[in-house]
Amino acid sequence: MSPKTDFAALAPPGVRGLQPYLPGKPMAELEREYGISDAVKLASNENPLGPPELSLRAMRAGLSGVARYPDGAAFELKRGLSAHLAVVPEQITVGNGSNEILSLIAETFLSPGDEAIFSEFAFVVYGLAVQATGATPRIAPASSRTGSQPLGHSLEAMGALVSERTRLVFIANPNNPTGTWLAPADLRAFIDGLPPHVLAVVDEAYLEYMPPADLPATLSWLGACPNLIVCRTFSKMYGLAGLRVGYAVSHPGLAELLNRVRQPFNVNELGQRAALAALDAHDHVRRSRQLNEEGMAQLRAGLGDFGWSVPPSAGNFVLADTGGSAAPWYEGLLKAGVIVRPVGNYGLPTHLRITVGLPEHNNRLLRALQELRKAGVGR
């Protein structure tokens, strides 16, 4: 093959136009670059408490079995989820994180000529998954910056884009990176109003952090809403992000199609064991919620006193508007050993997404910002 071969031309148009997903900077990378030995990562919405002890025990017990392939059907995990969620195993599809589930849904139900709808500031993976299939993304304008859910999903705007070519509507509740959420009644009415050829994909990665009054009973809607797919993950509340375990719950007919496309052995042995054990980690969930509530208040108060706009969030992170370019703050924090997430790739160049950490991590962030301001950043 000639050295001048245009390899990009070998890929379909949707793939040629993709820009790789950029994750939060790893702590090891920052420490190598800046010679720092005690970095704090508040960039990827991980649980600062880590995994439940029950999951750690389950992984240790399973180490001797990693020479063998995992159960490709994830029988025990699906049975545990079935009991935990009050659904039947045939409704469940497991994935290598809910990220893979989102890609599976796009791969299963989209083709060139189809359309998929998502909100302007929704999770960036929706657009990547749609584009890779050759389908057309339709992006709905977000809610006003000054409304009760600033930059959140406008169901009215999303509904206005539904057409004969629409196959999927992606809805993040709560949404990353804005932290916004939808009233259960509004979400249900929107799903009920979709035509039969459109599937509603409700991404509930941060569901466990939502205030109880705002929790939508999406799984109980499945009987009346056969076009609904609910996606969840063990990466956030359960602290298993490094193991990559997620799942979808849907009508058995939809799950059967997703499982045709799903790769065999996509969830590893230790991930299955840890996720199953995590379902019984009720104290871990309680402590994580309490820590998040206290840390959220700490960050919103501290950043508000700093003069930044920090709306309420139903996740384990805040989206802070710095009032100017966020880049100098991001770079300054890196040099101070604190990793946060710039969101210019979402079209929000003045914002930083900041994960709620341990109290000492939050304090370190706030102190670092004060030092940066003294040094003239932001003026």
Q: Are 211 and 314 in contact (CB under 8 A)?
A: yes
Q: Identify the CATH assignment for 65-278 out of 3.90.1150.10, 3.30.70.1230, 3.40.640.10, 3.40.390.10.
A: 3.40.640.10
Q: Of 341, 335, 342, whose CA–CA distance to 371 is shortest?
A: 335
Q: Within a 13 Å sphere around the CA of 3, how many CA atoms are in the beta-carbon half? A: 0
Mean pLDDT of 314-327: 96
User: Contact 319/310 with Cβ under 8 angstroms?
Assistant: yes
The confidence score (pLDDT) of residue 25 equals: 62
Of the pLDDT bands very low, low, confident and very high (cuts 50, 70, 90), residue 145 is confident
When the pLDDT of each residue in the chain is averaged and rounded to a whole number, the result is 93
pLDDT given at position 18 = 61
Q: Where are the domains of the chain?
A: 7-50+282-374, 65-278
Is residue 376 classed exposed, middle or buried when 0-12, 13-18 and 19+ CB atoms within 10 A define those classes?
A: exposed
Question: Which sign, positive or negative, has the C-alpha torsion 272, 229, 132, 157?
Answer: negative
Which residue from 217, 152, 211 is spatially nearest to 188, judged by alpha carbons?
A: 217
Note the pLDDT tens digit of each residue in 120-130: 999 999 999 99
Domains 7-50+282-374 and 65-278 fall in the same CATH topology: no
- The pLDDT value recorded for residue 30 is 65
C-alpha 355/C-alpha 341 separation (Å) is: 9
DSSP-assigned letters across all residues of 96-151: SHHHHHHHHHHHHH--TT-EEEEETTS-HHHHHHHHHHTPEEEEEPPPPTTSSSTT
Q: Which fold has domain 7-50+282-374?
A: Aspartate Aminotransferase, domain 1 (3.90.1150)
What is residue 5's predicted lDDT score, i.e. its pLDDT?
Answer: 78
Checking if the pLDDT of 16 tops 80, the result is: no
Q: Tokens 């919103």 — which residue?
A: 300
Tell me the three state secondary structure of residue 355.
strand
pTM for the model stands at 0.92
pLDDT tens digits for 182-223? 999 999 999 999 999 999 999 999 999 999 989 999 999 999
Q: What does the pLDDT average to over 40-54? A: 96
Which residues make Cβ contacts (< 8 Å) with residue 125, sequence separation at least 6? Answer: 21, 99, 102, 103
2/193: higher pLDDT: 193
Per-residue model confidence (pLDDT) at position 379: 67
End-to-end CA distance of the chain: 55
